[in-house]
Amino acid sequence: MMKSPPTAAFRLLGPVLVMATLGPVAAAPTHLVEQPPAAITKIAADVMLVDFGRVAFGNLKFTPPTNATGEIKVHFGEAFTNGRIERKPPGSVRYAMTNAVLAGRPLVVAPAPDARNTEGATDKHPPAILTPAEWGVVLPFRWVEIEGWPGELRAEHLTRQAAFATTWDDDAASFKSSDDLLNRIWELSRYSIKATTFAGVYVDGDRERIPYEADAYLNQLSHYYTDRDTQMARDTFDHLMKHGTWPTEWAPHMIFMAYADWRHTGDTNWLAPRYAALKSKLLLDRVGSDGLVRSEAQHIKRDDLVDWPKGERDGYVFTELNTVVNAFHLRALKLMAELGQALGHESDRAEFAAREAKSLVVFQEKFFDGRRGLYRDGTGTDHASLHANLFPLAFGIVPEANRPKVADWLIQRGMRCSVYAAQYLLEGLFENGQSTAALALMTAPGDRSWRHMVESGTTITWEAWDQKYKPNQDWNHAWGAAPANLLPRYVLGVEARTAGWSRALVRPNPGTLKFAEGKIPTPRGPIRIEWKHGKTFRLSLTLPPGVSAAVELPELAGARGVFQAGQAISAKRSSGRFVLAEDVSGSVTLEVK
């Protein structure tokens, strides 16, 4: 049963409707949920403004009085300016208008279908994902203006029929910290994942409603940390294996998706029949004798993406041997070796590991500038972009001795990348002890952070940091919701240590925060965690049955060690942390002092 937020009461609409628009590829179940208005206001002599509180994909169901007749005009909007719905919003931000005739009985009102996001396959893109015909048209909107309503418009006269995954549970996950802005960023990101489940597979927003590999992977990571469902990621994976898209780096993301599924679920039965097809995503057809991926003119002109939109590439110089593309290739080889081992394919594991080892040596020789301690964009250029360094750092390619230099340089450069690449930039910083800097980037003033999105009033994350960076952007793009996975993974510090969560890793990164608490959904049950950071560091942890956890706690200045119930327990100091000698299980409270 879907739980309701404090500001609204929800009622499920009839039977669950399962999408059946992908042919032999399934889609996770979705349904319509009736949502009452958050507010109704008269804004002109014959105009009523209805606010539903947050944007959702849906349409309107009117239940007028039996004596209500006549024509009304209905405006739907995502953007709101000077007390009215914006009639000409920028880019792909939605506004629509339609007329409806009241006849004293219930009716569903929505605009005509949008040709762009209901288009079939073309030579440029795969088919759009269609929602069930029984629903009628759905579009993203928060506000509605109604002209010509006879008499008083009351809350019982209309509801929004909002589309979400049937399995979604608002109580599955939580996050709260001493920083209210960070809490608002988490909730924006969490709700963005929920709101974009409407299609049954992960789509790239409302403009096209098409799954893309990188979008899907980032969506998958955040979905795992905000809800218990795993089916939508799997259905999206199967769809993309049938309908792949064009960017070079998007192909390795399919390996990332399969790997993320295995790590989260531990399910080799799902993985096994899909494993062989993943080999086609390694870019091996472009690998030269030295083990590096080559880019021909067409790849450089169109396929090698680095970041999107183009203006977010930090001046990246494209060459035949491209640092970012090869970083993805190396990461994909590493993950394929692990997947091969998980499935018992020892010859594959050995081959992929050998390829990775060979390519890594050449990668360092060709791309690393030892004088500066940074990676160049490729061979034939001395330009060192943010991207040429953030991806190697996030993927663990940078030699350990060089990681502090690369991380410090990235921090100095700041958020010179898109919301897509920000996932990897912040991963690299968190993984290398730079939690304070990572959180500072997430909450930075200016227009290149999640603070900017929160302060704009949006209720779903954007496709880009701001309209000026991508004039045609959607305002409902889940790849902008990276904090939904980054905050529980790194600030709360909870990740799977072994595939399927039989063993977790608990390694909080407090930065400057005084406390944080949350609930992390896993296939074995929720993990609950709370920590307080002051003169001591106090951690309370509850693990579900069958789950143990390796624990690493911050090493405070002058601390003697780790204590449980007043007794010292065995822990060694390592890289600024106390690493417990033994795993914990059940409910425990630990204190560094």
Helices (H), ranges, 117-230: 180-195, 213-224
Cα distances from 365 to residues 292, 295, 369, 443, in angstroms, run 11, 18, 9, 37
Q: Residue 123's pLDDT is what?
A: 82
Q: Which residues on neighbouring strands pair with residue 471, listed in sequence order?
A: none
3 state DSSP class of 40: strand
Paired sense of beta strands 30-35 and 158-165, if any:
antiparallel
Residues of the chain with pLDDT under 50: 1-24
Q: Residue 125's pLDDT is what?
A: 87
d(CA 187, CA 51) in angstroms, rounded, equals 19
The answer to whether 50 and 144 have CB atoms below 8 angstroms apart is yes
The label of the residue with tokens 């105009």 reads 47
State the Rg of the chain over Cα: 25
Task: Provide DSSP, 362-373.
Answer: HHHHHHEETTTT
- Residue among 199, 194, 195, 170 at smallest CA distance from 55: 195
The number of residues making up the chain comes to: 593
Q: Residue 21's pLDDT is what?
A: 35
Reported as a single tens digit per residue, the pLDDT across 487-523 is: 999 999 999 999 999 999 999 999 999 999 999 999 9
The structure tokens listed for 41 are 């206001």
Domains and CATH numbers, the chain: 11-165 (2.60.120.260), 496-592 (2.60.420.10)
Cα distances from 219 to residues 62, 194, 226, 466, 525, in angstroms, run 33, 10, 11, 20, 21
- Residue among 357, 329, 348, 325 at smallest CA distance from 275: 348
The answer to whether 228 and 166 have CB atoms below 8 angstroms apart is no
d(CA 298, CA 69) in angstroms, rounded, equals 60
Burial class (CB in 10 A: 0-12, 13-18, 19+), 370: exposed
Task: Give me the numbers of helices (H) and strands (E) for the chain, helices first please.
Answer: 14, 26
- Residue among 581, 590, 471, 585 at smallest CA distance from 540: 590
d(CA 172, CA 170) in angstroms, rounded, equals 6
Q: Cβ contacts of residue 220 below 8 Å, gap of 6+?
A: 202, 233, 236, 257, 260, 261
Q: Which residues of 291-321 are buried (b: 16+ CB within 10 A; e: fewer)?
A: bbbbbeeebeeebbbbbbbeebbbebbbbbb
Q: Residue 28's pLDDT is what?
A: 75
The answer to whether 252 and 331 have CB atoms below 8 angstroms apart is yes
Q: Residue 253's pLDDT is what?
A: 98
Reported as a single tens digit per residue, the pLDDT across 217-274 is: 999 999 999 999 999 999 999 999 999 999 999 999 999 999 999 999 999 999 999 9
The answer to whether 530 and 175 have CB atoms below 8 angstroms apart is no
CA dihedral sign of residues 235, 241, 245, 250 = positive
Q: Residue 124's pLDDT is what?
A: 82
- Give the predicted TM-score (pTM) of the model: 0.94
The structure tokens listed for 205 are 């927003």
The structure tokens listed for 505 are 């890793």
The structure tokens listed for 269 are 């039965």
Q: Cβ contacts of residue 299 below 8 Å, gap of 6+?
A: 248, 286
